[in-house]
Structure 1
Protein backbone atom coordinates (compact mmCIF):
# COMPACT_ATOMS: atom_id res chain seq x y z
CA UNK A 1 0.00 0.00 0.00
CA UNK A 2 1.41 3.37 -0.98
CA UNK A 3 1.64 6.26 1.45
CA UNK A 4 -0.78 9.11 0.82
CA UNK A 5 -1.27 12.53 2.39
CA UNK A 6 -4.13 14.97 2.66
CA UNK A 7 -3.56 18.59 1.74
CA UNK A 8 -3.84 19.66 5.38
CA UNK A 9 -1.33 16.98 6.47
CA UNK A 10 1.19 18.17 3.88
CA UNK A 11 0.64 21.81 4.74
CA UNK A 12 1.17 21.19 8.43
CA UNK A 13 4.18 18.92 7.94
CA UNK A 14 5.97 21.30 5.58
CA UNK A 15 4.94 24.57 7.18
CA UNK A 16 3.03 26.02 4.23
CA UNK A 17 -0.57 26.96 3.65
CA UNK A 18 -3.03 24.80 1.78
CA UNK A 19 -3.32 27.71 -0.67
CA UNK A 20 0.40 27.35 -1.43
CA UNK A 21 -0.05 23.67 -2.22
CA UNK A 22 -3.06 24.41 -4.43
CA UNK A 23 -0.99 27.07 -6.25
CA UNK A 24 1.71 24.52 -7.10
CA UNK A 25 -1.02 22.17 -8.24
CA UNK A 26 -2.44 24.90 -10.50
CA UNK A 27 1.05 25.37 -11.94
CA UNK A 28 1.09 21.68 -12.92
CA UNK A 29 3.83 20.77 -10.48
CA UNK A 30 1.69 18.52 -8.28
CA UNK A 31 -0.91 16.03 -9.44
CA UNK A 32 -2.91 14.68 -6.52
CA UNK A 33 -5.44 11.92 -6.96
CA UNK A 34 -9.02 13.06 -6.48
CA UNK A 35 -11.61 11.31 -4.37
CA UNK A 36 -14.63 13.51 -4.85
CA UNK A 37 -13.56 16.93 -3.59
CA UNK A 38 -10.69 15.50 -1.55
CA UNK A 39 -7.11 15.70 -2.81
CA UNK A 40 -4.89 12.70 -2.05
CA UNK A 41 -1.18 13.41 -2.45
CA UNK A 42 1.28 10.60 -3.15
CA UNK A 43 4.75 10.18 -1.70
CA UNK A 44 6.07 11.54 -5.02
CA UNK A 45 3.90 14.66 -4.65
CA UNK A 46 5.33 15.13 -1.14
CA UNK A 47 8.92 14.86 -2.41
CA UNK A 48 8.13 17.22 -5.29
CA UNK A 49 6.70 19.77 -2.88
CA UNK A 50 9.76 19.46 -0.65
CA UNK A 51 12.01 20.07 -3.70
CA UNK A 52 9.98 23.11 -4.72
CA UNK A 53 10.23 24.59 -1.24
CA UNK A 54 13.97 23.88 -1.04
CA UNK A 55 14.49 25.45 -4.46
CA UNK A 56 12.55 28.55 -3.44
CA UNK A 57 14.58 28.86 -0.22
CA UNK A 58 17.85 28.94 -2.16
CA UNK A 59 16.50 31.49 -4.60
CA UNK A 60 15.42 29.45 -7.60
CA UNK A 61 12.48 30.71 -9.60
CA UNK A 62 9.41 28.54 -9.87
CA UNK A 63 10.28 27.88 -13.53
CA UNK A 64 13.75 26.66 -12.50
CA UNK A 65 12.24 24.40 -9.85
CA UNK A 66 9.79 23.00 -12.41
CA UNK A 67 12.53 22.39 -14.94
CA UNK A 68 14.65 20.60 -12.36
CA UNK A 69 11.75 18.39 -11.30
CA UNK A 70 10.80 17.69 -14.92
CA UNK A 71 14.33 16.38 -15.55
CA UNK A 72 13.88 13.65 -12.96
CA UNK A 73 14.58 10.19 -14.36
CA UNK A 74 14.22 7.26 -11.96
CA UNK A 75 16.77 5.23 -13.94
CA UNK A 76 19.50 7.84 -13.49
CA UNK A 77 19.50 11.54 -12.89
CA UNK A 78 22.83 12.77 -14.31
CA UNK A 79 21.07 15.39 -16.44
CA UNK A 80 19.12 16.62 -13.42
CA UNK A 81 22.25 16.82 -11.27
CA UNK A 82 24.21 18.64 -14.00
CA UNK A 83 21.38 21.15 -14.34
CA UNK A 84 21.17 21.60 -10.57
CA UNK A 85 24.93 22.18 -10.28
CA UNK A 86 24.79 24.76 -13.07
CA UNK A 87 21.91 26.55 -11.33
CA UNK A 88 23.81 26.49 -8.02
CA UNK A 89 26.80 28.11 -9.73
CA UNK A 90 24.56 30.76 -11.31
CA UNK A 91 22.91 31.48 -7.97
CA UNK A 92 26.27 31.80 -6.20
CA UNK A 93 27.47 34.26 -8.86
CA UNK A 94 24.26 36.27 -8.51
CA UNK A 95 24.63 36.38 -4.72
CA UNK A 96 28.27 37.48 -5.03
CA UNK A 97 27.19 40.37 -7.28
CA UNK A 98 24.44 41.30 -4.82
CA UNK A 99 26.92 41.22 -1.92
CA UNK A 100 29.22 43.58 -3.81
CA UNK A 101 26.28 45.90 -4.52
CA UNK A 102 25.33 45.87 -0.84
CA UNK A 103 28.90 46.64 0.24
CA UNK A 104 29.03 49.56 -2.18
CA UNK A 105 25.70 50.86 -0.88
CA UNK A 106 26.95 50.60 2.69
CA UNK A 107 30.02 52.66 1.76
CA UNK A 108 27.77 55.28 0.15
CA UNK A 109 25.60 55.35 3.27
CA UNK A 110 28.69 55.68 5.49
CA UNK A 111 29.89 58.62 3.38
CA UNK A 112 26.48 60.31 3.44
CA UNK A 113 26.18 59.77 7.18
CA UNK A 114 29.61 61.25 7.82
CA UNK A 115 28.81 64.29 5.70
CA UNK A 116 25.60 64.83 7.68
CA UNK A 117 27.41 64.50 11.01
CA UNK A 118 30.12 66.93 9.87
CA UNK A 119 27.49 69.41 8.68
CA UNK A 120 25.66 69.15 12.01
CA UNK A 121 28.88 69.99 13.89
CA UNK A 122 29.14 73.24 11.91
CA UNK A 123 25.59 74.35 12.76
CA UNK A 124 25.03 76.63 15.73
CA UNK A 125 23.78 74.86 18.86
CA UNK A 126 19.99 74.63 19.14
CA UNK A 127 18.45 76.74 21.87
Structure 2
Protein backbone atom coordinates (compact mmCIF):
# COMPACT_ATOMS: atom_id res chain seq x y z
CA UNK A 1 0.00 0.00 0.00
CA UNK A 2 1.45 3.37 -0.98
CA UNK A 3 0.69 6.44 1.07
CA UNK A 4 -0.56 9.58 -0.58
CA UNK A 5 1.89 12.45 -0.89
CA UNK A 6 1.58 16.06 -1.93
CA UNK A 7 3.89 18.77 -3.23
CA UNK A 8 4.18 22.14 -1.57
CA UNK A 9 2.13 23.69 -4.41
CA UNK A 10 -0.66 21.11 -3.94
CA UNK A 11 -0.71 21.78 -0.19
CA UNK A 12 -0.77 25.54 -0.72
CA UNK A 13 -3.61 25.29 -3.23
CA UNK A 14 -5.63 22.91 -1.08
CA UNK A 15 -5.39 25.02 2.06
CA UNK A 16 -5.50 28.42 0.38
CA UNK A 17 -2.14 29.62 1.68
CA UNK A 18 1.10 30.60 0.01
CA UNK A 19 4.07 28.30 -0.36
CA UNK A 20 5.97 30.87 1.70
CA UNK A 21 3.52 30.33 4.57
CA UNK A 22 4.09 26.58 4.42
CA UNK A 23 7.87 27.05 4.40
CA UNK A 24 7.51 29.38 7.41
CA UNK A 25 5.56 26.72 9.32
CA UNK A 26 8.25 24.22 8.35
CA UNK A 27 10.96 26.57 9.65
CA UNK A 28 9.08 26.79 12.95
CA UNK A 29 8.90 23.00 13.16
CA UNK A 30 5.12 22.89 12.92
CA UNK A 31 5.32 20.59 9.91
CA UNK A 32 8.23 18.46 8.72
CA UNK A 33 7.92 17.26 5.15
CA UNK A 34 10.28 14.70 3.72
CA UNK A 35 13.06 16.25 1.67
CA UNK A 36 14.29 14.78 -1.60
CA UNK A 37 16.98 17.16 -2.65
CA UNK A 38 15.26 20.54 -2.76
CA UNK A 39 11.79 19.00 -3.16
CA UNK A 40 9.44 18.80 -0.23
CA UNK A 41 7.21 15.73 -0.04
CA UNK A 42 4.24 16.10 2.29
CA UNK A 43 2.56 13.07 3.89
CA UNK A 44 -0.77 12.69 5.70
CA UNK A 45 0.79 13.71 9.00
CA UNK A 46 1.93 17.00 7.45
CA UNK A 47 -1.55 17.63 6.03
CA UNK A 48 -3.13 16.99 9.41
CA UNK A 49 -0.65 19.22 11.21
CA UNK A 50 -1.09 22.02 8.64
CA UNK A 51 -4.85 21.74 9.01
CA UNK A 52 -4.50 22.05 12.80
CA UNK A 53 -2.17 25.04 12.47
CA UNK A 54 -4.59 26.86 10.18
CA UNK A 55 -7.56 26.03 12.41
CA UNK A 56 -5.66 27.38 15.40
CA UNK A 57 -4.85 30.57 13.49
CA UNK A 58 -8.52 31.02 12.54
CA UNK A 59 -9.42 30.73 16.22
CA UNK A 60 -6.86 33.38 17.08
CA UNK A 61 -4.23 31.25 18.79
CA UNK A 62 -0.61 32.40 18.46
CA UNK A 63 1.76 30.02 16.67
CA UNK A 64 3.65 29.11 19.85
CA UNK A 65 0.40 27.95 21.49
CA UNK A 66 -0.53 26.01 18.37
CA UNK A 67 2.87 24.32 18.42
CA UNK A 68 2.40 23.32 22.05
CA UNK A 69 -1.04 21.87 21.37
CA UNK A 70 0.17 19.90 18.35
CA UNK A 71 3.28 18.66 20.16
CA UNK A 72 1.18 17.44 23.07
CA UNK A 73 -0.59 15.12 20.68
CA UNK A 74 2.69 13.28 20.06
CA UNK A 75 3.57 13.10 23.77
CA UNK A 76 2.76 10.02 25.88
CA UNK A 77 -0.86 10.19 26.96
CA UNK A 78 -0.97 13.01 24.45
CA UNK A 79 -4.65 12.81 23.73
CA UNK A 80 -5.76 13.51 27.33
CA UNK A 81 -3.09 16.11 28.07
CA UNK A 82 -3.73 17.77 24.72
CA UNK A 83 -7.46 18.04 25.37
CA UNK A 84 -6.93 19.41 28.87
CA UNK A 85 -4.49 22.00 27.57
CA UNK A 86 -6.70 22.92 24.63
CA UNK A 87 -9.72 23.39 26.88
CA UNK A 88 -7.74 25.77 29.09
CA UNK A 89 -6.61 27.70 26.01
CA UNK A 90 -10.19 27.83 24.71
CA UNK A 91 -11.34 29.29 28.03
CA UNK A 92 -8.65 31.98 27.81
CA UNK A 93 -9.44 32.76 24.17
CA UNK A 94 -13.19 32.94 24.88
CA UNK A 95 -12.63 35.31 27.81
CA UNK A 96 -10.45 37.53 25.61
CA UNK A 97 -13.02 37.60 22.81
CA UNK A 98 -15.89 38.30 25.22
CA UNK A 99 -13.95 41.23 26.69
CA UNK A 100 -13.31 42.54 23.18
CA UNK A 101 -17.03 42.25 22.44
CA UNK A 102 -17.87 44.23 25.60
CA UNK A 103 -15.30 46.86 24.60
CA UNK A 104 -16.78 47.10 21.10
CA UNK A 105 -20.33 47.36 22.45
CA UNK A 106 -19.23 50.15 24.78
CA UNK A 107 -17.47 51.99 21.94
CA UNK A 108 -20.54 51.66 19.71
CA UNK A 109 -22.77 53.02 22.47
CA UNK A 110 -20.44 55.99 22.94
CA UNK A 111 -20.43 56.64 19.19
CA UNK A 112 -24.22 56.50 19.06
CA UNK A 113 -24.52 58.97 21.94
CA UNK A 114 -22.03 61.31 20.30
CA UNK A 115 -23.82 61.00 16.95
CA UNK A 116 -27.16 61.85 18.55
CA UNK A 117 -25.69 64.96 20.21
CA UNK A 118 -24.13 66.06 16.91
CA UNK A 119 -27.41 65.57 15.03
CA UNK A 120 -29.38 67.42 17.72
CA UNK A 121 -26.92 70.31 17.57
CA UNK A 122 -27.10 70.35 13.77
CA UNK A 123 -30.92 70.37 13.86
CA UNK A 124 -30.85 73.23 16.38
CA UNK A 125 -28.87 75.41 13.98
Question: TM-score category by the smaller chain?
Answer: over 0.9
Alignment coverage as a number of residue pairs: 123
* Higher normalized helix content (fraction of residues): 2
Deviations 1:29-81 (A, max 9, x none): 11111111111111111100000000000111111101101111376410001
Partner residue in 2 for 1:48:
49
Task: Tell me the TM-score normalized by structure 1.
Answer: 0.91
Q: Which residues in structure 2 correspond to 1:62-77 (within 5 Å)?
A: 62-73=63-74, 76=77, 77=79
Compute the RMSD of aligned alpha carbons: 1.3
Structure 2 residue aligned with 1:78, among 58, 77, 80? 80
In structure 2, the gaps of 5 or more residues are none
Partner residue in 2 for 1:4:
5
CA distance in 2, matches of 1:102, 1:45: 38
Runs of at least 4 residues off by over 2 Å = 73-76
Deviations 1:84-110 (A, max 9, x none): 111111111111111100110011000
Task: Tell me the TM-score normalized by structure 2.
Answer: 0.93
In structure 1, the gaps of 5 or more residues are none
Q: Which residues in structure 2 correspond to 1:84-95 (within 5 Å)?
A: 84-95=86-97
Is residue 109 of structure 2 the alignment partner of residue 118 of structure 1?
Answer: no
Is residue 22 of structure 2 the alignment partner of residue 21 of structure 1?
Answer: yes
CA distance in 2, matches of 1:73, 1:25: 17
Q: Please report how far the alpha carbon of residue 6 of structure 1 lies from its aligned counterpart in structure 2 after TM superposition.
A: 0.6
CA distance in 2, matches of 1:6, 1:101: 44
